[in-house]
C-alpha cells in the first residue's frame, strides 16, 4: 500500500467525469482546494459552468463530454493534455440510476445505464491509460462503483449489475497495470448513501421502480452523507493508500461480510 501526501497533488492535474453535480462536483472542489488543476467533464454543460464558477481562482477546464462516446472521451483526454499536460488523478465517476424490475425495464434504459456506468469507465481507461503510460509519471485512477457493487437488490438490478461490472473492471485494471509495472495506482470508490440528486433524476419503470426511486430519494436525503464528506473520504483513502475506499467503512464491512458469507456458504439470494 503506497501512502500519498495530499500536498504533493498541488500543481498536478485531476480529471473528474460527472463533475457537474453531486459527488463529482465535490471531488472537483476538493481537488481544487488541494491546489490541483481540474478538468470538469460532464454531459450537463450548464452544471459544468456552475461548478467552474464556484472554483473561480483555480485553474479549471470544462469539457462537455458524453462518457458513453469513445470519441468524446478521446477528445477529453486530448483537451486535457493540450491544456495541462500529464494527468495525475483520473476519477471515472459519471453514473446514472434506472429503477425497475428486470422484466419491466425498457431495453433502451437498460442499455443506456450500462453504457454510462460500465462503458463510461472503460472509455476513461482506454483514452487516458496509454497517455499515462507514455508520460511515465505517477498517476492514480479512481473508478466510482458503489456499495451496490458487493450487494444485490431488487428493482435496481441494472444499476447493481453495472456497479459489479465497474468494480470488476477496476480490479482487473489494477492487476493489468501491476503486470506491466506501471506507476499507476488504482482505487475502487464504493460510496454508501450520499445526498445527491441521482434518484431524483432516475427514470423508473413500473410500480416497483417508482416505489424504489421514491424510497431511495428519501433515504439519501435523510441518511446520506454530504457530497463533500464523500469527497473527503475519497481523498483520505487515497492518502492512506487504500484500493477499497468507502464513505462508511463500518457499514461497508457488514455488506462485504454478508456477501462473503453468502458466497462461501453457497447461500441463495434473499
Ligand X SMILES: NC(=O)c1ccc[n+]([C@@H]2O[C@H](COP(=O)([O-])OP(=O)(O)OC[C@H]3O[C@@H](n4cnc5c(N)ncnc54)[C@H](O)[C@@H]3O)[C@@H](O)[C@H]2O)c1
Q: Contact with ligand X (CB under 6 A): which of 50, 53, 106, 201? A: 201
37-42 and 13-17 strand pairing: parallel
Of 88 and 98, the one with the shorter C-beta distance to ligand X is 98
Asked if 72 and 127 touch (Cβ cutoff 8 Å), the reply is: no
Region near ligand X per CB under 6 A, out of 42-50, 54-62, 100-108, 123-131: 42-50
Burial of 239 (0-12, 13-18, 19+ CB in 10 A): middle
Report which of 127, 145, 128 is spatially closest to residue 88, judged by C-alpha positions.
Answer: 128
Cβ nearer to ligand X, comparing 174 with 234: 234
Q: Does 127 bind ligand X (CB under 6 A)?
A: no
Q: Please list every residue from 207 through 236 that binds ligand X, using CB under 6 A.
A: 220, 224
Task: Please say which residue, 42 or 157, places its beta carbon nearer to ligand X.
Answer: 42
Taking the alpha carbons of 57, 58, 61, 66 in that order, is the dihedral positive or negative? negative
Pick the binder of ligand X from 15, 32, 194, 234 (CB under 6 A): 194
Piece of 66-74, 126-134, 171-179, 260-268 that binds ligand X (CB under 6 A): 66-74
Instruction: Characterise 44 by phi-psi region: left (phi > 0), alpha (psi -120 to 50), beta (else).
Output: beta
Report residue 140 as a C-alpha cell: 492514480
Closer residue to ligand X, CB minimum distance, 13 or 196: 196
Among 66, 88, 90, 158, binds ligand X (CB under 6 A): 66
Q: How far is CA 63 from CA 13, 79, 177, 191, 257, in A?
A: 14, 8, 27, 25, 40
Q: What SS3 state is found at 38?
A: strand
Active-site residue, selected from the candidate residues 84, 122, 159, 199:
159
Residues in 21-40 that interact with ligand X by CB under 6 A: 21-24
Q: Which is nearer to ligand X, 133 or 195 (CB)?
A: 195
Residues touching ligand X, count (CB under 6 A): 32
Residue 71 in grid coordinates: 470519441
Three-class SS of residue 197? Answer: coil
Residue 93 binds ligand X, judged by CB under 6 A: yes
Q: How far apart are the first and last CA of the chain?
A: 35
159 flagged as catalytic: yes
User: Least distance in Å: CB of 81 to ligand X?
Assistant: 19
Positions touching ligand X (CB under 6 A) are 17-18, 20-24, 42-44, 47, 65-68, 93-96, 116, 120, 144, 146, 191, 193-194, 196-198, 201, 220, 224
Catalytic residues, by residue number, are 159
Amino acid at each position: 500500500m503506497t501512502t500519498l501526501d495530499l500536498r504533493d497533488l498541488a500543481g498536478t492535474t485531476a480529471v473528474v467525469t460527472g463533475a457537474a453535480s453531486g459527488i463529482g462536483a465535490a471531488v472537483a472542489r476538493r481537488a481544487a482546494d488541494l491546489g490541483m488543476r481540474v478538468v470538469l467533464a460532464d454531459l450537463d454543460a450548464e452544471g459544468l459552468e456552475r461548478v467552474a464558477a464556484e472554483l473561480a481562482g483555480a485553474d479549471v477546464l470544462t469539457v462537455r463530454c458524453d462518457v458513453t462516446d469513445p470519441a468524446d472521451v478521446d477528445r477529453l483526454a486530448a483537451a486535457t493534455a493540450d491544456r495541462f499536460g500529464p494527468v495525475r488523478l483520473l476519477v471515472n465517476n459519471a453514473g446514472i440510476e434506472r429503477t425497475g424490475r428486470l422484466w419491466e425495464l425498457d431495453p433502451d434504459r437498460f442499455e443506456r445505464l450500462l453504457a454510462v456506468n460500465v462503458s463510461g469507465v472503460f472509455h476513461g481507461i482506454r483514452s487516458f491509460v496509454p497517455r499515462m503510460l507514455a508520460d511515465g509519471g505517477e498517476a492514480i485512477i479512481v473508478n466510482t462503483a458503489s456499495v451496490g457493487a458487493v450487494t444485490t437488490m431488487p428493482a435496481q438490478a441494472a444499476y447493481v449489475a453495472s456497479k459489479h461490472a465497474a468494480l470488476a473492471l477496476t480490479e482487473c485494471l489494477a492487476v493489468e497495470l501491476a503486470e506491466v509495472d506501471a506507476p499507476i495506482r488504482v482505487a475502487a470508490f464504493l460510496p454508501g448513501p450520499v445526498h445527491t440528486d441521482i434518484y431524483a433524476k432516475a427514470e423508473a419503470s413500473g410500480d416497483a421502480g417508482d416505489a424504489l426511486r421514491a424510497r431511495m430519494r428519501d433515504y439519501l436525503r435523510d441518511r446520506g452523507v454530504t457530497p463533500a464528506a464523500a469527497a473527503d473520504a475519497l481523498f483520505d483513502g487515497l492518502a492512506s493508500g487504500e484500493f477499497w475506499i468507502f464513505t462508511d467503512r463500518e457499514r461497508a464491512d457488514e455488506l462485504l461480510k454478508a456477501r462473503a458469507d453468502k458466497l462461501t456458504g453457497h447461500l441463495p439470494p434473499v
